[in-house]
Each structure stands twice: as structure tokens, then as C-alpha cells.
Structure 1
Amino acid sequence: MALASINLSIKQYFNFMCRTDFERRIFHDTYKEFQKRSRIYSLDQQVHTFSQMQLSNEEVGTLNQKLQYSVMNSIASLENKMPVLNDLKNRPVLFDWAELHIYASDLLNKAAHVVSITYTSPKLILHEIVGNLLILSYSAKANETLVIKITENVKVNYEQSESLVYR
């Protein structure tokens, strides 16, 4: 019996301390795009950080989308497999949605550039909770279970509880 329908979300942060090729590509491509796209918000170079730009112009939030467009091919290369969340058999959890967010950036200092990608899984069926482990299945593959260890980085999004119907 299923307990609930849920999805999982997890964030991956990208800064100058990148370790993998994927992380480096996201970091460098988003910084390059930030330099190009944020010039119109820099008020003739009077402001140079993302937070200063946010204070001076509310439309700066659109940079999140513009930077995401610059890395869509890199995200697509993941083939919908989260690079930061695996089940106990070391199989990557799938994602349906990936959203980029700028935390900080500076036109004058590349080392201050920090972005994240939040990966969100498709609908999962929660079968059981055992301690800090979730026993799940993808809704389309109910016979194939995955066991995920809950950590402080994994967010469980509750969608709907399941109940038995008696007739």
C-alpha cells in the first residue's frame, strides 16, 4: 500500500571550487552569461554585484532565467539523472525539472559567483519510511523500488496522501 505521492528536491551549488567537468561548465557558462546580461543593470558600472543590482532594479530577477538558458544543453546532458542524489544501489534518482538560481555574483570578481540548480523528481510513490530511509517507486514503475537516505539536503515535497477505498 502506498502512503503518499511525493517528489524529492535537492540543490547543487556551483562556485569557484568546482570539481567535475559538469560543475566547471555550469560555473563558467553562467558567469560568462552574467557578465553579458547584467551590464544593463549595472547603472553605467556604478553597481557590480548581483545584490546591488537587485536593490536598484526589480527586473534583475529575470537574470535567473537568462542564465538557465545558457546552460540548458549542459543540464540536458545529464539525461534527467540527478548528479547529487543516488539510491542505496548507487543509481541516480531521475528529475523532471531543474531550476537555476543566482545566489551571488560580481562583475569584478569571478570568485564571488555562486549559483545553484534545484533538481525536482517526477511523482514518486512513497511505500514505507524506515528510520531515515524512504522506500519509493516511480509511479509508472511501481514494481521497481528505490531506497533513498534522507539527509538535510533532500527536501520531500508532499503531494497527496493515499487512502484505501472500501465498497
Structure 2
Amino acid sequence: MALAYINIIAKQYFNFMCRSDFERRIFHDTYKEFQEKSKPYTSGERLNTFSQMMLANKKAKDLHQKLHYSVMDVIEKLEHQIPILRDENGNSIRFEWAELEIIDSDLLNKAGHVVSLTYTSPKMLLHEIDKELLVLSEETAGKSNSILKIKMTEELRIDYCEKHELVCS
């Protein structure tokens, strides 16, 4: 009997300290796009950072989506596997969607560019919580797939979907 339906959410940050090719592509491609797409939000003023642009013009929030579009092909190459989250057997956890967010950026300093990707898993069945492990399975076509055990960490967030209840008549 499952305890609840949940989504697993993991956030990955990208800054100038990139280690993998994937991280470097996200960092460099989003910075290049930020330089190009932020021009309308600096109009006439000396605004260099994303946070300054947001304060001056709330429409600058559109940059999140514009930068996301610039790396969609890179994200697709992940083949729906969260690169920063594995189960206890070392298997990648699937994500249903990923969303890019600009944490901050600076047109005058590339080292000030920080973005994140938030990965959200498909709906999963939470079977139990065993100490620091979540015991889960992914449900496909009404059937529960193999059991996964994921260690709870600070980077991991659970989005509560629906509680399972026994119904007695």
C-alpha cells in the first residue's frame, strides 16, 4: 500500500565552476543568450545585473523563458535522466520536465552568472520512508514499476500530490 503520490524535485546550479561538458554548455549558452536578450531591459539606463533589471522592469522575468529556450536541445540530450540524482543502485531518476531559472547574471562579469535547472519527476508512489531513504516506484499505465530507494538530501524536495487512504465500507 502506497502512502502518497509525490513528485521528486531536484535543483542543479550552474556557475563559472562547471565540471562537466553539460554544465559548461548550460553556463556558456545561457550567458551568451543573456547578453543578447537582456538589451531591451537595460534601455538607456546603466543596468548590468539581472537583479537590477528586475527591479527596473518586471518584464525582465521573461528572460528566464528566453534563456530556457536557448538550452532546450542540451536538456533534451539528457534523455529525461536527472544528472544529479541517482537511486541507491546508481540508476538515474527520470524527470518529466526541467525549468531554467536565472539566479543572477552580470553583463560586465561572466563569473556573476548563475542559473539553475529544476528537474521534476513524473508522479511516483511513495511506499515508505525507511530512515533517510524514500522507497518509491514510478506508476505507468496504472501499474507500479520496480522499487527505487532514494536517499533524502538537502538538494531533494518532495512535492506532495495526493495522499492514499484506505476506504472501508
User: TM exceeds 0.5?
Assistant: yes
The count of residues paired between Structure 1 and Structure 2 equals: 167
Report the Cα distance in structure 1 between the residues aligned to 2:145 and 2:31, rounded to whole angstroms.
Answer: 43
2:30 counterpart of 1:14: no
Q: Which residue pairs with 1:144 in the alignment?
A: 146
Cα distance in structure 1, aligned partners of 2:42 and 2:114: 18
- Name the TM-score, length of structure 1 as normaliser: 0.97
Q: Which digits, 9 at most, give the CA deviation of each residue in 1:90-113, with x for residues without a partner?
A: 001000010000011011111100
Q: Which residue of 2 aligns with 1:166?
A: 168
What is the aligned partner in structure 2 of residue 30 from structure 1?
A: 30
Deviation at 1:44, TM superposition (A): 2.9
- For 1:38-53, what aligned pairs fall within 5 Å after superposition? 38-44=38-44, 46-53=46-53
Residues 1-167 of structure 1 aligned to structure 2 (within 5 Å): 1-44=1-44, 46-140=46-140, 142-167=144-169
Structure 2: distance between partners of 1:129 and 1:62: 39
- Distance between the aligned counterparts of 1:23 and 1:15, measured in 2? 8
Q: Deviations over 1:42-66 (max 9, x none)?
A: 1235111111111110100000000
TM-score, normalising length from structure 2?
Answer: 0.96
Q: Work out the CA distance in 2 between the residues paired with 1:45 and 1:166.
A: 66
The unaligned stretches of length 5 or more in structure 1 are none
Identity %: 56
Q: Deviation digits for residues 14-51 of structure 1, max 9, x if unmatched?
A: 00000000000000000000000001111235111111
Q: Partner letter of residue 166 of structure 2? A: L
Moved over 2 A (4+): none
SS in 2 for 1:156: strand
Separation (CA, whole Å) in 2 of partners of 1:55 and 1:114 = 18
**Partners of 2:151 and 2:61 in 1: how far apart?**
34
| Residues 116-165 of structure 1, C-alpha deviations (whole Å, 9 max, x = no match) | 00000000000111011010000115140100000111001111110122
Residue identity in the other structure for 1:30: T
Unaligned 5+ runs, structure 2:
none
